[in-house]
Amino acid sequence: MMLDDKLTFSDGQAITATAASTYFYDQLTGEKDTTTFDTNPKAQWGPNATYFGEDLGIGQGVGTPRIVITTGSVAFATLTSLAILFQGAPDNVTAQASGLRSDLVFVTYMQQPAILTALLTASQQIASFDWPMRAIGNGLPRFVQLDYVVAGANATAGSLTSSVTLAPNDAQGTLGQYPSGFHVAG
């Protein structure tokens, strides 16, 4: 699968306790940010645009973004399980004034089932899911992030890399199993 650095939520992020992804993504500017965002971006949508919200889309259309999460080179230890949440936040007056991530109000659009520690082994893909739809009643988000929820004791080891890709990972189990120059007769 092809990955883009600007579409990375976590890059080897150590997960010890419940935490948001290192980066959050600003759908208006196309930038990944850590603690602050641009309150006066160059991109404007319409003559009176103050706030921006993105419809997250529906279904398996062409180019549906997927979020892929993999563990680092060390297995997780001591926690009971780990859940992964995809969250969105619309811009708001307070955040627009401060430009701070901490002033955004993120709500959960989708939650992966909890993954038991025994399955959080080293260098494994632990989740892959389509960019979720916005739930009815939730605002159109300008910002998106992942939230990692640790259950049980805090983890003493383990890290995650989480990215967005447009390429499917359906062939992951067969990659590298065919010799180079392999051709199928038609």
List the single range of 74-78, 116-120, 180-184 with lowest mean pLDDT: 180-184
Mean pLDDT within 88-105: 94
According to the model, what pLDDT value does residue 136 have? 79
Q: Would you say residue 45 lies in a domain?
A: no
Number of CB atoms found within 10 A of residue 109's CB:
18
Q: Is residue 15 in a domain? A: yes
CATH number at residue 130: 2.60.120.1110
Distance CA 163, CA 168 (A): 13
In a domain, 135, yes or no: yes
Give the residue, 41 or 16, on which the prediction is more confident.
16
Domain range for residue 99?
Answer: 5-37+52-165
In a domain, 173, yes or no: no
Residue 138 lies in a domain: yes
Domain annotation covers residue 136 = yes
Res 19 pLDDT > 70: yes
Give buried/exposed letters for 42-78 (b at 16+ CB in 10 A, else e).
Answer: eeeeeeeeeebbbebeeeeeeeeebbbbbbbeebbee
pLDDT per position as a tens digit, 52-85: 555 545 445 456 788 999 999 999 999 999 999 9
185 inside domain: no
Q: What is the pLDDT of residues 154-164, one digit of tens each?
A: 999 999 999 98
Dihedral pair phi/psi, residue 156, rounded to 5°? -100, -10
Q: Say yes or no to pLDDT of 175 above 70.
A: no
Structure confidence at residue 138 (pLDDT): 75
**Is residue 184 one of the residues assigned to a domain?**
no
DSSP H or E stretch at residue 80 = strand 77-89
Number of domains comprising the chain = 1
The residues pairing with 140 across neighbouring beta strands, listed in sequence order, are none
